[in-house]
Structure 1
Amino acid sequence: MVSSVVEKRLGALPVAAEFLRRLDVAGTVDRLCPGRDIAHLTHGQVIETLVANRLTAPAPLWRVEDWAREWAVEEVFGVEPELLNDDRLGRALDAIAPHLTELTDSIGARAIGEFGIDVSTCHWDMTSMSLHGAYPAEDQDEDYPRIKHGHPKDRRYDLKQIQTGLAVTGDGGIPLLSRVIDGGAAEISQITGTMKPLRARAGPKEFLLVADSKLVSYRNVTALIKAGCDFIAPAPAPASAVDDAVYAALDLDAATIVDYAPARDENTPAERRETYRVLEDTHVLSGPRKRDAQVEVRRILVHSTGNAKGQQRARDKRLAKARDELDKLQRGAGGRYYNTAEKIAARIGVIAKTRRVSGCLHTGRCTYGRHRRGQRPAVRHGPPSRPC
């Protein structure tokens, strides 16, 4: 006869436990962060259970023992719920804090061997976590990343933040490298520091760092060249944007047509697909100081017929809107708001800037002077002064 029935949630706990054991998370933690012999639980057991908690029931990290009672934690992990109180979790987290880099690197390396992960392609990115509270500088430990104001991804400039970076494999998005970074650190300054451990993971294989435009700075480029690391990244804008004169001087007939078709054109007949042409030249980067040596890097310029057509359509729309506003200005010239040549010229400048046609639109001389009674001043706008 059954006197009582206890129901507990099982969910994905068995799956999480199997992966945690194959990765030897508890064993790695205990080797790097040994606890007291008299403790009921090792730090590794606590962290292993806490990881399962984050995977199955992510919520504010408080009263985890209640979660353990409702879920089959004792049956799967052999951990009594009462032992997972806030004080015990805090001691375990404090113990692993000085060893986070070694822990993540060791477990990532084990994942490569245990599951045969292909690490020839890795993806690295950073994000920020905004925090509520004062976090005065004098109360923060200098041995750890500091909570500071910075450039938050969520645009909460009123809050301080901490940043984190994560490198994952192209094969399955498996985390391999994790870093916690000062809230005030510039994202661009973290690239070279991350490149070294990632390159070590690549081993004897050729290493190519593919990054976004934040990579291209004098400091990063010189460090990568000195380390003998190949890299590729788009040119940043607007500080290092390619000058319009460079594009104007290009000879498309001399460019090499590349055998590439975007996914959207896979089912499009060959004669209707976009065409891509490439040219190669060099670009010179100057350092922030006059005595800094200039650095010369390869630059690849890509021309896309589809992109060119899209830009032309967008440019035609901007010019059409600017033309309508200039016609409206011409009809209103001499009235209450535009009764001087200076006001008319100022308005023309605003239209050109707002519609982003300053480089494409050439306005003729603005005439506003003596005129017959009932005749309005004229605003004349001519064709573009140069092709665009």
Structure 2
Amino acid sequence: DVLPMVKYYIDQLGIYGLFSKYVKKPEQSPVDPAQILSVVVANIICASQPLYKVEQWAADYMDGLSEYGLNASMYNDDQIAKKLDCLFKADRNSFMCELSANAIGVYLLETRQIHNDSTSVTFTGEYENQHPGAVKLKYGFNKDHRPDCKQIVFGLNITADGNVPLSFELFDGNRTDDTTHVPNWNALREFLGESDFIYIADCKLCSQKNLDHIHEHGGIFITIVPKNRSEVKQFHEFLKTNSIEWQYAYETPNSRKKAETILYKTYEGEPSKNGYRIIWVHSSAKEKQDKSRRDNRIAKADLQLTELSSRLNQYNLKTKNRLKRQSRR
């Protein structure tokens, strides 16, 4: 049972108090939103349930939830839905900022490195009457491979120290990742009160506009150069005729194969055309993976050629067109 531990962290972070501060209680409501919302948080972490099942879950754990001052029947789906509406109307940005500040203060989190990533949250249904103040469910690049469904884009910032969520933001479903980084970095700079933290994100960060903005405002970034960039193609061509001296970086256990260790080596090449450092990384695990894929492709091609050869040798084929027709059979 993880409920006691979850309650401990809820208390440490002051979540109940923050709900009381930011979520207003409706005039005729018999229940404080903070009571309902705190239980919903506990339920999501302990045993995420549909809204209509939270009441039964609360009844099973009523002894552990008694300090919230309600009996289980008050945690019904109608009450929860109303309190979630209250949360929607609250200043959720200030709520999240204060919660993150509490986490940094209570657990002395190191905020020197911040990782950002985004994903799509998929919805089914029409959703024709969307709230004008909410993010828009739209069709976009769906990471669940469901282009037929509407979605929203969910962006998350976490600390490198403990992978603790620091802040998040929702975007319209058709928002592309590369356009989220400048406003996200600006918000982090304002929240942290400094600009020289290391901002780490995937290749969607690697646009001239994004990198120049962070650099010009005193920031530091780490990202991945997309494969289609000229710098990558030039480096691949360079490797064909030149040898380089890789420098040992570090090694770590392979999380998928416990008996193996992954060795990382680096090489600092020429800077990008915009003057940013490029460090090439060699992974022993990636090397094995690439070799395995090449071997499989060669074996597959060899098998196909063997099968093709047996068909072609049955005929006296002397022209290119006749060879093509026979190979397609």
Q: TM-score range by the shorter chain?
A: 0.7 to 0.9
1:270 alignment partner in structure 2: none
Structure 1 distance, partners of 2:289, 2:6, is: 48
Pair 275,173 (structure 1): closer, same or farther in 2 beyond 3 Å: closer
Q: Deviations over 1:190-229 (max 9, x none)?
A: 2222222333444448311222222212332233233332
- 1:172 matched to 2:151: no
Cα contact 1:333–1:339 (8 A) shared by 2? no
Structure 2 distance, partners of 1:232, 1:42, is: 44
Cα contact 2:249–2:266 (8 A) shared by 1? no
Aligned residues: 317
2:24 alignment partner in structure 1: 34
2:71 to 48, 59, 80: 80
Q: Deviations over 1:67-86 (max 9, x none)?
A: 33332166232123333333
Structure 2 distance, partners of 1:103, 1:59, is: 24
Query: Structure 1: where are the runs of 5+ without partners?
Result: 1-10, 266-272, 285-294, 351-388
1:110 alignment partner in structure 2: 102
1:338 is displaced (CA, Å) by 6.5
Structure 2 distance, partners of 1:225, 1:343, is: 61
1:209 alignment partner in structure 2: 199
2:280 alignment partner in structure 1: 301
1:124 alignment partner in structure 2: 116
Between stretches 225-234 and 32-41, larger displacement belongs to: 32-41
Structure 2 distance, partners of 1:69, 1:306, is: 49
1:150 to 136, 140, 156: 140
Which is richer in helix? 2
Cα contact 1:74–1:81 (8 A) shared by 2? no
- 1:262 matched to 2:247: no
Structure 1 distance, partners of 2:218, 2:326, is: 53
- 1:341 matched to 2:329: no
Q: Deviations over 1:333-383 (max 9, x none)?
A: 4766966314647999x9xxxxxxxxxxxxxxxxxxxxxxxxxxxxxxxxx
Cα contact 2:25–2:33 (8 A) shared by 1? yes
Structure 2 counterpart SS, 1:260: strand
Structure 1 counterpart SS, 2:204: helix
Identity across matched positions, percent: 25
Structure 1 distance, partners of 2:15, 2:224, is: 39
1:37 is displaced (CA, Å) by 5.4
Structure (1 or 2) with the larger CA radius of gyration: 1
Task: Give the aligned residue type for 1:340.
Answer: T
Which one scores higher on RCO, CA 8 angstroms, separation ≥ 6? 2
- 1:66 matched to 2:56: yes
Structure 1 distance, partners of 2:264, 2:76, is: 63
Structure 2 distance, partners of 1:66, 1:320, is: 57
Pair 251,147 (structure 1): closer, same or farther in 2 beyond 3 Å: same
1:324 is displaced (CA, Å) by 5.9
- 1:100 matched to 2:79: no
Pair 326,275 (structure 1): closer, same or farther in 2 beyond 3 Å: same
2:268 to 253, 275, 279: 279
1:62 is displaced (CA, Å) by 1.7
1:110 is displaced (CA, Å) by 0.8
Pair 85,302 (structure 1): closer, same or farther in 2 beyond 3 Å: closer
1:17 alignment partner in structure 2: 7
Structure 1 distance, partners of 2:81, 2:68, is: 19
Structure 1 counterpart SS, 2:210: helix
Pair 246,18 (structure 1): closer, same or farther in 2 beyond 3 Å: same
Structure 2 distance, partners of 1:69, 1:309, is: 53
1:103 is displaced (CA, Å) by 1.6
Task: Give the aligned residue type for 1:167.
Answer: N
Between stretches 218-227 and 312-321, larger displacement belongs to: 312-321
Pair 275,169 (structure 1): closer, same or farther in 2 beyond 3 Å: closer
1:246 alignment partner in structure 2: 238
2:126 alignment partner in structure 1: 134
